[in-house]
Amino acid sequence: MMRLAVSVLLVLSAVARMGSRAEEVTCSGIVPMKNRSGIISIADYGGVGDGRTVNTKAFREAIYKIHHLNRTGGTLLYIPPGVYLTESFNLTSHMTLFLAKGAVIKATQDYSNWPLIDPLPSYGRGRELPGGRYMSFIHGDGIEDVIITGENGTIDGQGDIWWNMWRQRTLSFTRPNLIELMNSRDIIISNLVFQNSPFWNIHPVYCRNFVVRNVTILAPRDSPNTDGVDPDSSSNVCIEDSYISVGDDLVAVKSGWDEYGISYGRPSSGITIRRIKGSSPFAGIAVGSEASGGVENVIAENITLYSMGIGIHIKTNAGRGGFIKNITISSVYIENVRRAIKISGNVGDHPDDNYDPDALPVVNGITIKDVTGVKILQPGMIQGIKDSPFTGIYLSNINLDWVRGSRPSTPWTCSDVSGDAVKVSPLPCSQLQI
Ligand SMILES: *[C@@H]1O[C@H](CO)[C@@H](O)[C@H](O)[C@H]1NC(C)=O
Ligand SMILES: *[C@@H]1O[C@H](CO)[C@@H](O)[C@H](O)[C@H]1NC(C)=O
Ligand SMILES: *[C@@H]1O[C@H](CO)[C@@H](O)[C@H](O)[C@H]1NC(C)=O
Ligand SMILES: *[C@@H]1O[C@H](CO)[C@@H](O)[C@H](O)[C@H]1NC(C)=O
Ligand SMILES: *[C@@H]1O[C@H](CO)[C@@H](O)[C@H](O)[C@H]1NC(C)=O
Ligand SMILES: *[C@@H]1O[C@H](CO)[C@@H](O)[C@H](O)[C@H]1NC(C)=O
Ligand SMILES: *[C@@H]1O[C@H](CO)[C@@H](O)[C@H](O)[C@H]1NC(C)=O
């Protein structure tokens, strides 16, 4: 009990430090950080942080207890320093999962025992394979008022076994996300490290009021589909002050897949992404390619990218339907990037043969401004869709420099696009010049 009392004090002082950063614009207005009225420790439920003991029972029982305590003001589950191996588990409402400094929650690699859940209705099937999908390592459905935080503790998906199954094509179902919260609201994920996710790292889907801030997300550059944060059919999402170095897009805003996403009809809207740094062989800030429910009102600012495949990537396809509109991306620094800006209407695969090839997405109102790029191989490519040209594409104050001696012969390639370009160097394609 003494140890828990000391822990309580440490937790309180750590929580107290979190709220205080008044000068900068932050996400804190969306979901305020709060203290809990009660604290329990995973140790009280038999949790052992020796890196070998499987703690599934401890996690499930502690969270069951929090659910049934139903304490006004919620309960904090404290994870002391140590490595806690566990199978996947579900969170509940009105809880904080708090990882102390040196605490690691690590996924077991027992995929034969991993729970399967239904496909998302807006995808119609697993993203990788038909049928259901493996449940995320940490999961929540229909929950509210949840905080996942700590003192830079780590949530480790031990994804290599999954990446290898993907490489060897021996997967039976779609790989698990590290954290997926569905149909949930008032969520904060902060002050932690997420590493080696089997698939996408943080996946809010059908959520609102969702904050991710001050996190580090790490996965090897060659790990397949380890996207950083993918807000999907969600609104009021804010992602800030984070470092993301993974094997796929750092942040990708989505909203369902082809005919399933169209009929589910839930857009992503009100998405703020700011002060993100990172690196990946794919895109820094992406929208799509699954955007069939529509994506609108996205602001991304103060983004710093190194060694990227693509800096900014808006991607969709015939069959997707939906819309991508009112997207503003500004104050971007990119260095050592294959292609700085790509807006494209022919990216991504289809869930099955029943997609409607005439379901053409509408792309309108994309502003990209204040971009500095150095060591850029190919400045830009904008390829609209013939029967649904991209409109209102506005580029301003963009300076893209290439590696000395490798000036691209056609810096910009464009088709089926209209808009304006002001102070863009190298000079963009004629479709965008006033
Ligand atoms: C949380 O508790 C600490 C310590 O008692 C206090 O200083 C801080 O203001 C509280 N924070 C919130 C958001 O209530
Ligand atoms: C928790 O308590 C609230 C009100 O006190 C009640 O509405 C709710 O149903 C309770 N939830 C559970 C899981 O017992
Ligand atoms: C966790 O949640 C999923 C999906 O909501 C559900 O299918 C599963 O039974 C839950 N698992 C436990 C152990 O409660
Ligand atoms: C960010 O998280 C680290 C721990 O990971 C913590 O030390 C630091 O105070 C946090 N910063 C803010 C602004 O919350
Ligand atoms: C948190 O851990 C990450 C990964 O080890 C490290 O890069 C980062 O500097 C740490 N942050 C703090 C505030 O200690
Ligand atoms: C565009 O999106 C921004 C950010 O969400 C929002 O503030 C603004 O009102 C939107 N503009 C229109 C015309 O909807
Ligand atoms: C970007 O964020 C950094 C770190 O918070 C800050 O120092 C810098 O002034 C910001 N730049 C812009 C253009 O907002």
Single-letter amino acid, residue 204: P
Q: Whose CA is nearest to atom 3 of ligand 2?
A: 70
pLDDT of residue 22: 42
**Given 145, 227, 232, 248, which residue is catalytic?**
248
Q: Would strands 133-134 and 116-117 be described as parallel, antiparallel, or unpaired?
A: antiparallel
CB-based contacts of 410: which residues, under 8 Å, 6+ apart?
Answer: none
User: Which ligand is nearest the CA of 301, by number?
Assistant: 7
Phi and psi for 360 in degrees, rounded to 5? -95, 130
Tens of pLDDT along the chain (434 residues) come to 445 554 554 555 545 444 444 467 899 889 999 999 999 999 999 999 999 999 999 999 999 999 999 999 999 999 999 999 999 999 999 999 999 999 999 999 999 999 999 999 999 999 999 999 999 999 999 999 999 999 999 999 999 999 999 999 999 999 999 999 999 999 999 999 999 999 999 999 999 999 999 999 999 999 999 999 999 999 999 999 999 999 999 999 999 999 999 999 999 999 999 999 999 999 999 999 999 999 999 999 999 999 999 999 999 999 999 999 999 999 999 999 999 999 999 999 999 999 999 999 999 999 999 999 999 999 999 999 999 999 999 999 999 998 877 888 889 999 999 999 999 999 999 999 76
Q: What is the pLDDT of residue 16?
A: 47
Q: d(Cα 345, Cα 374) in Å, to the nearest integer?
A: 26
pLDDT at 25: 86
So what's the pLDDT on residue 256? Answer: 98
Q: What is the CA radius of gyration of the chain?
A: 22
C-alpha distances out from residue 304 to 12, 95, 301, 351, 377, Å: 33, 33, 9, 33, 17
Q: Is 248 a catalytic residue?
A: yes
Ligand 4 atom at shortest distance from the alpha carbon of 151? 4
Q: How far is the CA of 118 from the centre of ligand 5 (A)?
A: 35
Q: Distance between CA atoms of 289 and 269, rounded to whole angstroms?
A: 16
- Which ligand approaches the C-alpha of residue 156 most closely? 5
58: closest CA among 47, 66, 69, 67? 47
| Tokens read off for 118 | 């239904």
Residue 31: its pLDDT value, please? 95
1-223: CATH number: 2.160.20.10
Residue in 70, 92, 93 to alter for ligand 2 test, most ligand atoms within 8 A of Cβ: 70
Ligand 7 contacts (CB < 6 A) are 275, 302, 331
CA atoms within 13 A on the CB side of 9: 5
pTM assigned to the model: 0.94
Rounded to 10 degrees, what is the CA torsion of 293, 29, 192, 256?
0
73-77: Cβ within 8 A, 24+ apart? 73/34, 73/35, 73/36, 73/37, 73/38, 74/34, 74/36, 74/37, 74/38, 74/145, 75/36, 75/37, 75/38, 75/39, 75/40, 76/11, 76/36, 76/38, 76/39, 76/40, 77/40, 77/41, 77/42
Report pLDDT for 6. 46
Same fold, 1-223 and 249-434: yes
Give me 1's structure tokens.
């009990």
| CA 233 to centroid of ligand 4, rounded, Å | 29
- Which of 18, 21, 193, 218 gets mutated to test ligand 5 (max ligand atoms within 8 A of its CB)? 193
From the CA of 150, which ligand is nearest? 4
List all residues whose CB is within 6 A of at least one atom of ligand 5. 152, 193, 216
**Are 164 and 113 in contact, with CB atoms under 8 Å apart?**
no
Ligand 2 binding pocket includes 142 (Cβ within 6 Å) = no
Residue carrying the six token digits 């069939």: 292
CA-closest residue to ligand 2 atom 11: 70
Distance CA 65, CA 74 (A): 11
What distance in angstroms lies between residue 90's CA and the mean position of ligand 3's atoms?
Answer: 6
Q: Per DSSP, what are the bridge partners of residue 378?
A: 339
> For 249-434, which CATH class?
mainly beta
From residue 394, give the alpha-carbon distance in Å to each of 127, 286, 335, 362, 391: 32, 17, 22, 16, 9
Predicted pLDDT of residue 409: 85
Query: Which is the closest atom of ligand 7 to the Cα of 304?
Result: 1
Pocket test for ligand 3, best of 55, 92, 135 (most atoms within 8 A of CB): 135
Ligand 1 atom nearest the C-alpha of 34 is: 13
Q: Which ligand is nearest to the CA of 243?
A: 5
Give the pLDDT score at 404: 78
CA of 100 to the centre of ligand 5 (A): 13
The ranges assigned to domains in the chain are 1-223, 249-434
Start-to-end Cα distance in the chain? 71
